[in-house]
Structure 1
């Protein structure tokens, strides 16, 4: 059964990077907007007559905090009708029609093995939500590796915040890796290249000669990254059932 459409009011907008905005949306009809970290909402935008071409889904970037406000982080896609409309038309005070929360890209009931959160771009959103939720509720967990693929330093969404979270939460490692960072900006604390070499390195380092350390893999981002990650993770010896994905684009 589909959830009903609701009206949300945009109460705050912040430019996070040159082509990324953060939107805080209040749901006036609700005292508390409840959701599970990792879920998404679907927006109905006035950009086409056909419903299927009007709808755009975005992972919730905030975490459940008992309020009726949630956050989305949205990147402007070149030629994208939905994001172009949002960036040009939506101001603080604007209303948005949405449905949600939706989706099953959520944490396991018991976090009894290492978690690998692997993402690119705004695919960071559900993992920001999950990491804060685990810390806020003191949920028992193993090691958590957030491996975030960016092009350059300026693309690193929530970078300072996640670095501070890693300092508070010793079992949480925040590992941004940059594919196009120029050599003069490199130092031994900056990882360069692509996300795949990072999780392969960690998995191999932690594995016994004849066994793999148990892990769950959560993938969120563009299709090419997810397809390659699924192949590589299975090539390491992990079962397909340990991999969970949320596709963007």
Structure 2
């Protein structure tokens, strides 16, 4: 054990097994497991970090990393909240077999995705599915500091019943003014009323939920495709990506060398592009930050349009060649995109682009 200066209670190290002391169902195929060291040692970690559990599955032990969902300010125990995915091995074993009284080998805590040492800023937490677990730890930590936090918390799930920690978050929000909750689901539960946001998270929703997002530090966690979408939205809206932080389900980073380098396409104002309107036999030079719709209007061409936010789909046109950067808000289907269609109002040309206008 490592004694802490000025304290009699030692800090847990991974030389000691952890004992499961409680199991709490959270949502379908989701449970929270609470662990304590038998010695009574306390935990030292940062909100958002993860721990690695050595799980005795049939056929041989496997190691799996799980974000700690509890707050480091309550350091007598740690919680991990796990969700089984198709093909899960370690998580499946935990859900089916792990009970209070059982002891596991564990390693950590570790990870670079966490709150700063002095978390006094304004935060935007965006999560999907079990990606809410580090956000729960962060939000609880900011709440337990005893000061009024400033958090816009956006959680996405397939159905309302799959919104992990919903009741706990609503309880915290009822005790402070600085936690603003927004839930997004793809579809409602049968025979249950849902009055919140419905659909896939998009830039229009972001503006309605958190109109001061440019002033906030963003923390994002969820499936890789979801996080790609969030980055596209923020890039398109001119957000300072140096203030963006994300975790990954696949490989949480333990060192700076392991941090993901994003190869996102971001239209540049000083980069020249060209749009060829094939049916009209007109071409126009422009910047990558111009939209196809704006360039068409400047060239005297009419593309029917409505919302100009990528919602209504009125400005859908066929792209014949070239590449565009399109960040829409649900106004076009995946099948249409696969077939070569774009929404002119939210598509930026990259290089030379030809459209059927």
TM norm. shorter chain > 0.5: yes
Shift of 1:103: 1.0
Matches within 5 A, 1:178-189: 178-181=185-188, 185-187=192-194, 189=195
Q: Which residue of 2 aligns with 1:243?
A: 244
CA separation in 2, counterparts of 1:46 and 1:109?
35
Report if aligned partners of 1:111, 1:140 keep a CA contact under 8 Å in 2: no
Q: Which moved more, 1:217-226 or 1:62-71?
A: 62-71
Would you say the 8 A contact 2:113–2:246 is kept in 1? yes
The Cα RMSD (Å) is 2.5
Q: Which residue of 1 aligns with 2:202?
A: 196
Query: 1:209 matched to which residue of 2?
Result: none
2:191 is equivalent to residue 174 of structure 1: no
Higher-Rg member (1/2)? 2
Which consecutive segments of 4 or more residues in structure 1 shift more than 6 A?
48-51
- Give me the whole-angstrom Cα distance separating, in 2, the residues matched to 1:84 and 1:182: 25
Report the Cα offset of residue 233 of structure 1.
0.8
Q: Partner residue of 2:166?
A: 159
User: Match for 1:9 among 14, 19, 31?
Assistant: 19
Residue 224 of structure 1, CA deviation: 0.7
Which residues of 2 match residues 38-117 of structure 1 at below 5 A?
Answer: 38-47=48-57, 54-111=62-119, 113-117=121-125
Q: Alignment partner of 1:228: what SS?
A: helix
Paired residues of 1:148 and 1:195 also in contact (CA < 8 A)? no
* Higher RCO (CA 8 Å, separation ≥ 6 residues): 1
- Separation of aligned partners in 1, 2:239 and 2:58: 43
Q: Any stretches of 5+ residues in structure 1 without a counterpart?
A: 207-211
Mapped partners of 1:150, 1:74: distance in 2: 15
Contact conserved, 2:29 with 2:95, CA < 8 A, in 1?
A: no
Instruction: Compute the TM-score of the two structures, normalised by the length of structure 2.
Output: 0.61
Q: Give the number of equivalent residue pairs.
A: 237
Match of 2:321 in 1: none
Query: What is the deviation of 1:46?
Result: 3.2
* Residue 26 (structure 1) aligned to one of 32, 36, 41: 36
C-alpha spacing 1:112/1:36, structure 2 compared with 1 (3 Å): closer
Task: Structure 2: state its 5+ residue gaps.
Answer: 1-12, 251-357
Q: 2:332 aligns to what?
A: none
- Check conservation: 1:25, 1:69, Cα contact below 8 A: yes
